[in-house]
């Protein structure tokens, strides 16, 4: 499988795309075509454990490596020591949806599904490409990617991780997870700004050629662990096939039946992986894109116009507080028939005026494939309460946004296609919000809320979150958004 950029005609191997992370001209790496995965092959997944399912999908893209190597990487990434309980991505049947739980990993958010895998892909790709430089992974996080990247890359030889998160823009548990991170090769810094500022800052550092030369002279090069890195997306494609196989196993669908997928969306990586799965052959009817009050994507799907010129809201689903969704670029590359000039023009327009309008054909196709809607904090809280009351199931606020949007979708369309609602975080990462939604009670202390939530619901709190109570805070840097590059110089001890 070869890779190109959304903004220029290039020819790279998967290993090169993973190590580079983002293309020099600012585009994102994409496969030149989608490998087919047949219904027979999907049928064969049904009897396999998760890591073997993942290997079947990944190996279609990571053709630099032998099948055995890919399976070995998957078994390390998704083993019981990383995902206690054995199943990395279980499907739970509710009354009118199927919840795909992606939060069983070490950081209790779905980012682990990709970031437990990425270090293996990265180090093997470096080896395959003869890269001897230290790879410095710059991360901008809205809360969950940062910790998952730290956890995945901590003390991985040949790599360093630097994470920037929005100051005051993440939950207490998310912040503690990051600032208590151990490891000789990790740094964390809060940025006075929101996630978009942090992401733009990181992208600007990537685009700074002078900085790249300084790093090179010091035996270092940059890469990304954000979902702009293709190596983040491939592992995410796998769990959609796995969920489909589980629905067949549960008897919810027959092999070949179409399903809907409803995804709580921020940077558009998770739902794009579902889109890619469909292009490979997964029978999908609609992609339901669920946003919180930062509903730029809802408007985009309904009108074909992307317009980030709007107020930014802090919500109870902070990992979706995003106005510039990076992976939309990969979608419009598809919708515009692989026309990299068109994509470049649209992205230039986004950079200059904060908006762009899709060509009519692309806009129509977008609306055909996707359904976009949103739920504000009150609606999400109501949904957490409703689902707990009616089904005894506890959802985090991000999952609740998706679940609420799915309820709206059903009412509006009367579509009864079986639907996967993607669950992206453990309720214990947002215990204050969840507890208030199901009991009406408020706790000042997040850990007290955790204890009470556990007592009330009987759902066990993940061990790694429990440990946060006692771990020392190690990373207390804060910087202005203009000073992110300066911080990187400082962390790396280069001049």
Ligand X SMILES: *Cc1c(COP(=O)(O)O)cnc(C)c1O
Output 206 or 268, the one with its CB closest to ligand X.
268
* Residue 457 · residue 299 · CB < 8 Å: no
Kindly state the smallest distance separating residue 18's Cβ from ligand X, in Å.
18
Distance of CA 218 to the CA centre of its chain: 31
User: Where in 387-416 is the site for ligand X (CB under 6 A)?
Assistant: 398
Closest CA to 297 of 311, 307, 287: 307
Is 265 a residue that touches ligand X (CB under 6 A)?
yes
Q: In what order do the strands lie in the sheet with 159-166?
A: 220-224, 134-140, 159-166, 186-192, 477-480
Cβ nearer to ligand X, comparing 27 with 266 = 266
> Of residues 320, 363, 366, 488, which one binds ligand X by CB under 6 A?
320
Check binding of 418 to ligand X (CB under 6 A): no
Q: Which residues between 129 and 148 bind ligand X (CB under 6 A)? A: 144
Beta bridge partners of 203: none
- Provide DSSP, 177-195: HHHT---TTEEEEEEES-H
Q: Measured from the CB of residue 267, what is the shortest distance to ligand X in angstroms?
A: 3
Residue 424 binds ligand X, judged by CB under 6 A: yes
List, as one string, the DSSP characters of 308-366. --S-----S-GGG--SS-TTHHHHHHHHTTT-HHHHHHHHHHHHHHSEEE--HHHHHHH
Nearby residues of 311 by Cβ (< 8 Å), 6 or more positions away: none
Decide: is 293 part of the binding site for ligand X (CB under 6 A). no
Near ligand X by CB under 6 A: residue from 22, 58, 109, 178: 109
Q: List C-alpha distances in Å: 1 to 12, 55, 60, 114, 232.
A: 9, 15, 8, 20, 16
**Residue 78: DSSP 8-state:** T
- Closest contact distance (angstroms) between CB of 285 and ligand X is 20
Could you tell me the smallest distance in angstroms from the CB atom of residue 261 to ligand X?
A: 12
- Please count the residues of this chain forming the interface with ligand X, following the rule CB under 6 A: 16
Pick from 156, 163, 425, 449 the residue near ligand X by CB under 6 A: 425
Among 269, 304, 385, 432, binds ligand X (CB under 6 A): 269
Q: Does 267 help bind ligand X (rule: CB under 6 A)?
A: yes
291 scored as a contact of ligand X (CB under 6 A): no
- Candidates 34, 37, 51, 268; binder of ligand X (CB under 6 A) is 268
Minimum CB–partner distance for residue 264 and ligand X (Å): 5
Residue ranges in 158-177 that form contacts with ligand X under rule CB under 6 A: none
266 binds ligand X (CB under 6 A): yes
CB of residue 50 to ligand X, shortest distance in Å: 19
Tokens representing 100? 């795909």
Question: Quick one: 62 or 424, whose CB is closer to ligand X?
Answer: 424
| Selected binder of ligand X within 111, 120, 203, 487 (CB under 6 A) | 111
Distances (CA, A) of 159 to 126, 150, 297, 432, 475: 10, 11, 34, 35, 18
Taking CB under 6 A as the criterion, which residues in 208-237 touch ligand X? 227
Least distance to ligand X, CB of residue 379, Å: 16
Q: Please, what is the end-to-end C-alpha distance for the chain in angstroms?
A: 39
Instruction: Closer to ligand X by CB, 215 or 301: give it.
Output: 301
**345: number of Cβ within 10 Å:** 14
Shortest distance, position 77 Cβ to ligand X, whole Å: 18
Q: Is there a contact between 281 and 42 (Cβ–Cβ < 8 Å)? A: yes
Helix axes 328-335, 360-369, angle to 10 degrees: 110
Residues that bind ligand X (CB under 6 A): 109, 111, 144, 227, 264-270, 319-320, 398, 424-425
């Amino acid at each position: 499988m070869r890779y190109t950029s959304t903004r220029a005609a290039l020819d790279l191997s998967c290993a090169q795309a993973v190590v580079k992370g983002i293309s020099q001209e600012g585009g994102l790496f994409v496969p030149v075509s989608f490998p087919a995965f047949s219904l027979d092959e999907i049928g064969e997944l049904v009897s396999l454990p998760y890591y073997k399912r993942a290997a079947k999908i990944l190996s279609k893209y990571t053709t630099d490596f032998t099948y055995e190597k890919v399976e070995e990487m998957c078994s390390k990434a998704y083993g019981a020591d990383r995902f206690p309980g054995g199943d990395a991505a279980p499907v739970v049947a509710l009354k009118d949806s199927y919840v795909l739980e992606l939060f069983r990993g070490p950081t209790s958010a779905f980012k682990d599904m990709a970031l437990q895998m990425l270090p293996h892909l990265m180090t093997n790709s470096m080896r395959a490409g003869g890269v001897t430089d230290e790879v410095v992974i710059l991360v901008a996080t809205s809360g969950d990617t940062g910790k998952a990247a730290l956890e995945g890359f901590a003390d991985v030889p040949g790599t360093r991780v630097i994470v920037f998160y929005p100051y005051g823009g993440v939950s207490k548990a998310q912040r503690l997870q990051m600032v208590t991170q151990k490891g000789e090769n990790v740094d964390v810094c809060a940025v006075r700004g929101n996630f978009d500022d942090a992401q733009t800052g990181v992208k600007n550092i990537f685009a700074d050629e002078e900085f790249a030369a300084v790093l090179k002279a010091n035996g270092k090069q940059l890469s990304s662990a954000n979902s702009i890195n293709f190596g983040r997306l491939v592992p995410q494609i796998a769990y959609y096939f796995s969920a489909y196989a589980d629905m067949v196993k549960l008897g919810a669908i027959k092999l070949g039946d179409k399903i809907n997928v409803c995804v709580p969306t921020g940077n558009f990586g998770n739902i794009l992986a579902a889109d890619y799965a469909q292009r490979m052959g997964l029978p999908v009817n609609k992609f339901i894109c669920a946003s919180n009050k930062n509903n730029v994507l809802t408007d985009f799907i309904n009108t074909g116009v992307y317009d980030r010129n709007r107020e930014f809201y802090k919500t109870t689903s902070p990992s979706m507080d995003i106005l510039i969704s990076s992976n939309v670029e990969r979608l419009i590359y598809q919708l515009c028939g692989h026309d990299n000039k068109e994509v470049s023009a649209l992205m230039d327009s986004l950079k200059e005026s904060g908006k762009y309008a899709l060509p009519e054909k692309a806009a129509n196709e977008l609306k055909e494939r996707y359904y976009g809607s949103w739920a504000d904090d009150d609606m999400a809280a109501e949904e957490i309460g409703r689902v707990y009351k009616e089904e005894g199931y506890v959802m985090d606020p991000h999952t609740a946004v998706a679940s609420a949007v799915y309820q709206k979708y059903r009412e509006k369309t009367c579509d009864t296609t079986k639907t996967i609602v993607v669950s992206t975080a453990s309720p214990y990462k947002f215990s204050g919000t969840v507890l208030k939604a199901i009991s009406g009670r408020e706790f000042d202390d997040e850990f007290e809320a955790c204890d009470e939530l556990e007592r009330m619901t009987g759902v066990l709190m993940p061990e790694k979150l429990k440990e946060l109570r006692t771990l020392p805070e190690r990373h207390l840097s804060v910087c202005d958004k203009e000073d992110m590059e300066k911080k990187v110089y400082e962390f790396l001890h280069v001049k």
